[in-house]
Every structure is written in C-alpha cells, then in structure tokens.
Structure 1
Amino acid sequence: MKAKAYINGLLLSFQFFSVLPIHRELPVDARHLQATLRVFPLFGLVKGLLYGGVFWLLLEWSPLSPLGDAFLLWLLPIIWTGGLHLDGWIDTSDAFFSYRDVKRRLDILNDPRVGAFGVLSLIVLLAARFLFLYEITKFGHSLLATFFVLIPFYSQMVTGLLLNSVTPAKKEGIAYFFQQGKDARLFVCYSFWVTGAGVLFFFISGGINVFLLFTAAAAMFFVFARRGALKHFGGISGDLLGAGLEGAELLLWMILWLLVSIGMA
C-alpha cells in the first residue's frame, strides 16, 4: 500500500475522531479505510503526545495549583474529541443497564434521549478521571508524561481491533462504515506498533515493566469488550466503540494512578 493511502488514512482519523479541521475531501474506499485502521495507533500516539506535552508544560510552566492543572488536563480529551466518545459511553450505559434483550438494547442506542443510567455513568466516568488526573498531577513528576502518551495509543488500538474482529450490530453507522476496511493482517500490524513503542519506551525510561502492564491491561480489556459487545448487543456499533475507548482509557488512567500512589511510577 502506498504512503499516500496511509497519510489519507491518518487524515481520516483526524476528520472523524477529533475537532481538528481537515478541509479536504478524502477517499473512503476499502483500501483507504484499511489504511485508516492500520494507522489508528499512530493517531493515538499523536493524541498521546498532545496529552503528554500539555501535562509537561503545565508542570513546568503553569502558575496554577495542581487542582487547576488537573482541571485543564481533564478538559483536554473532551475538547479534542468534541465529546464524541462520551456520547457513546452515555448511550451504551443506558442500553446495557436497561437489562433488555439485544433488539431492545439496540433500539435504546438509537434513541437520542438520555436516561438516568447514562447520566449516572457519565458522572462516575468523569469524576473518576478527574480524581486520577488530580493525584497524578499532584505527584508532580514530568517523566509521567511518557505514560500519558501510551494511554491513547492503546485505546486507539483497542478501537481498531474491535472494529476489525467484531461483527457489526447493524448495517449502518460509523462502525459499519469503517468495517469496509477490515484487514486480516491487522493484528500483525499492531504487533509491530507495540514492539516499536516498547523499544522506544525502554530507551526513554530505562525500564519496560509499566509498558508491559499497560499492554496486558489493554489486551484484557479488548477481550472483555469484545465478549460484552457480542453477548449484550450482538455486535459492534459506533456508540460501543466510543464506550470502549473511554473505558480503556479510564482503566489505564486508573493503573497509572495506582502506580503513582504506591510509588512504582
């Protein structure tokens, strides 16, 4: 596949999953959608570099308190995505906690109204993320910026693997659209991304234990999310992808928070 296809694939990621304005008509055939799936980890790295860079700048130059810095970091993912994935988290929570059959759950996903379970789960998600970011920021070590880079890297890979390995819950929507680019070699491609990131992480930090822990946690979350999507929804959808990405990132933020709390990071 030519380099131009991968460049267009990366631009498609920005166009669909960020507020960054891409004023360009991009090809969306199967080849370019396949390229998009392959560069999902790169898109995650770009997002991670943004998170890590802002974290470092706040620690080194911000006149604000740790609470103020944590608030800005907490806002950053919401601004970057325009709340896109949070919408998926809300809809998925409403559908899952309805305890209905698969068909009714899919109907709830399509319902534009927000239920009590969606509101409560959003509060829990955002409150937990703020707690993790505040205590990580309060610890105040700029080398933690390296871990900030890894979190979106893994969450985007989880999203790509779910798209590539789970049947669509419905033949419409963003998940079905991107699944036109399914790739039998995607797992191998992601293995190269993980290996390269691991080598780079080792040279930067001098260790590999936290990287391996993040890798294992992301892999286990993927298995959990894949099973849940099939069992409770009969497949994957755009809302479930958003919920999966938010869930994967929350898990990794929690792990980093725990490592900081016990002095291992």
Structure 2
Amino acid sequence: MKWKTYSNGLLLSFQFFTIVPIHRELPMDAAHLRAVLRMFPLFGLIRGLLYGGVFWALIEWSPLSDLGNAFLLWLLPIIWTGGLHLDGWIDTSDAFFSYRDRERRLEILKDSRVGAFGVLSLIILLAARFLFFYEIIAFGNSQLAFVVCLIPFYSQMTMGLLLNSTPPAKEEGLAYYFQKGKDSALLIRYSVWLIVIGAAIVLMSHALLPFLIFTAVTAVFFNFVRRSTMKHFGGITGDLLGASLEGVESILWMTLWLLVSIGMG
C-alpha cells in the first residue's frame, strides 16, 4: 500500500473523529478504509501525545489548582472529538437499558431522542472520569504523562479490532461502511505496534507494570464488548463503537487512578 494511501487514511481519521478541520475531499475506497484501520494505532498515539503533553504541562507549569487542572484535562477529550463518542455512549445506554429485544434496541440506537438512561449514564461517566483526573493530578506526578499517552493508543486499537472482527448489526451506517476496509492481518499489525510502543515506553519511563496492566485490561474489555454487542445487538454499529471507545478509556483512566491510589503509578 502506497505511503499516500496511508497518509490519506490518517487524515480520514482526523476528518471523521476529531474537530480538526481537514478541508480536503479524500478517497473512501476499500484500500483507503483499510489504511484507516491500519493507522488507528498512530492516530491514537497522536491523540495520546496530546493528552500526555497537556497532562505534563498542567502539572509542571499551570498556576491553577488541582481542581482547575483536572477540569481542563476533563474538557480536552470532549473538545477534541466534539462529543462524537459521547453521543454513542448515550444512545447505547438508552438501547441497552431498555431491556428490549434485539430489533427494538437497534431502533432505539437510531432514535435521535435522548432518554433517561442515556442522561444518567452520561452523568455517571463524566463524573467518574472527573474524579479520576482530579486524583491522578493531585496525587500523581508529571512522569505519568508516559502512561497517559497509552490510553488513547489502546482505545483506538480497540475500535479498530472491533470493526475488523465483529460483523455489522445492520447493513448501513458508519461501522458497516468502514468494514469495507477489513484486514485479515490487522491483529498482527497491531501486535507489532504494541511491541514497539511498549518497548519505547519502558525504555523512556520504566513503566513496565502499567504497560502490562493496561494491555491485560484492554484485552479483557475488548472480549467483553465483543461478546456483549453480539449478544444484545447482533453486531457492531457506529454508536456501539463510540460507546466502546469511551468505555475503554474510562476503564484505563480508572486503572491509572487505582495505581496512583495504591502508590504504584
């Protein structure tokens, strides 16, 4: 695959999943969609470097209180994505907690209205994440920036693996369209990314234990989400992918919070 195809694939990720203005009409054929999936780890790493850099700067340079710094860090992912994945979290919560059959749940996913379960789950998600950010900043240190960089890296790979390995719940929508770029060797490619990034993180920060724990937590979460989506929805959709990304990032932030709380971060 040519370098230009890969660069376009990365730009497509920015175009679809961030507020970064990409004022170009990019090709959307199978080869470029495959490049999007292959470039997800790099896209996640770029986002991770942004989050880690802001985290480091807030601890080292910010004149604000820990509460103010936590609020700024809490806002960053929301601003970066324009709330795109939070919308998927809301819709998925409304559908899942409706306790209806599979067909009705898929209908609820498509409904633009927000229900009580969606509102409650969003409040819980954002409140929990704010707690994690505040205590990580209050009781951690700037060296944790290396670990923070890993969180979007893992979440983006989770999204890519779900797209690549889970059938679509319906033959329409974003997930179905992106699955035209399925890659039979994607797991191997992601494993290479994982080894390279893991080695770099360990050499630069000696954070071997957090790296291993994050890898294990992400693997467990991926398998749980894949089974759950198949059982309750019959496959993956764009909303379920967004909810999954928010879920794995929240779980990893919680993991880092627990490591900091017990003195291992």
Interval containing the TM-score (normalised by the shorter chain):
over 0.9
Residue 39 of structure 1: how far off its partner (Å): 0.7
> Structure 1 regions of 5+ residues with no counterpart?
none
Distance 2:169 2:25 in 1: 28
Contact residue 147 and residue 207 of structure 2 kept, 8 A: no
Match of 2:259 in 1: 259
Instruction: Tell me the distance in 2 between the aligned counterparts of 1:206 and 1:214.
Output: 14
Partner of 1:166: 166
Q: Measure the CA separation in 1 of the matches of 2:45 and 2:256.
A: 17
Distance in 2 (alpha carbons) for counterparts of 1:85 and 1:206: 32
Aligned to 1:65: 65
Bigger Cα displacement from structure 2, 134-143 vs 80-89? 134-143
CA distance in 2, matches of 1:45, 1:4: 20
d(CA) in 1 for partners of 2:212, 2:6: 28
Q: Can you give the 5+ residue segments of structure 2 that lack an aligned partner in the other structure?
A: none
Q: Report the TM-score when normalising by structure 1.
A: 0.99
| Contact 1:59/1:140 (<8 A) preserved | no
Tell me the distance in 2 between the aligned counterparts of 1:194 and 1:112.
37
Deviations 1:34-87 (A, max 9, x none): 011001010000001000111111111111000000000000000000000000
Offset at residue 154 of structure 1 (A): 0.2
Match of 1:249 in 2: 249
The yes-or-no answer on 1:188 pairing with 2:185 is no
Could you say what secondary structure the match of 1:39 adopts?
helix
Aligned residues: 265
**Cα distance in structure 2, aligned partners of 1:132 and 1:207:** 19
Distance (whole Å) between structure 1 residues aligned to residue 138 and residue 20 of structure 2: 30
Distance 1:121 1:80, change over 3 A: same
The CA distance in 2 between the partners of 1:127 and 1:238, in whole Å, is 24
Cα RMSD, aligned residues only: 0.6
Residue in 2 that maps onto 1:205: 205
**After TM superposition, which residue ranges in structure 1, 4 or more long, deviate above 4 angstroms?**
none
Could you tell me the TM-score, scaled by structure 2's length? 0.99
Is the Cα–Cα contact under 8 Å of residues 166 and 236 in structure 2 kept in the other structure? yes
User: SS of the counterpart of 1:114?
Assistant: coil
**Residue 42 of structure 1 corresponds to which residue in structure 2?**
42
Q: Distance in 1 between matches of 2:207 and 2:244?
A: 28
1:96-144 per-position Cα deviation (integer Å, ceiling 9, x unaligned): 0000000000000000000000000000000000000000011241001
Q: Contact 1:93–1:117 at 8 Å: present in 2 too?
A: yes
Question: Quick one: distance in 1 between partners of 2:56 and 2:228?
Answer: 36
1:114 aligns with 2:85: no
1:2 deviation in Å? Answer: 1.1
Give the letter aligned to residue 249 of structure 2.
E
2:79 is the alignment partner of 1:79: yes
Segment of structure 1 superposing worse, 37-46 or 203-212: 203-212
- Greater shift in the superposed pair: 116-125 or 135-144: 135-144
Contact 1:167 1:235 (C-alpha < 8 Å) held by counterparts: yes
CA distance in 1, matches of 2:76, 2:198: 26
Letter in 2 for 1:151: I
**Contact 1:151–1:252 at 8 Å: present in 2 too?**
yes
Letter in 1 for 2:130: F
**1:21-40 mapped onto 2 (5 Å cutoff):** 21-40=21-40
| One-letter identity of the residue aligned with 1:164 | N
Matches within 5 A, 1:122-133: 122-133=122-133
1:228 aligns with: 228
Instruction: Give the whole-Å Cα distance in 1 for the aligned partners of 2:105 and 2:98.
Output: 7
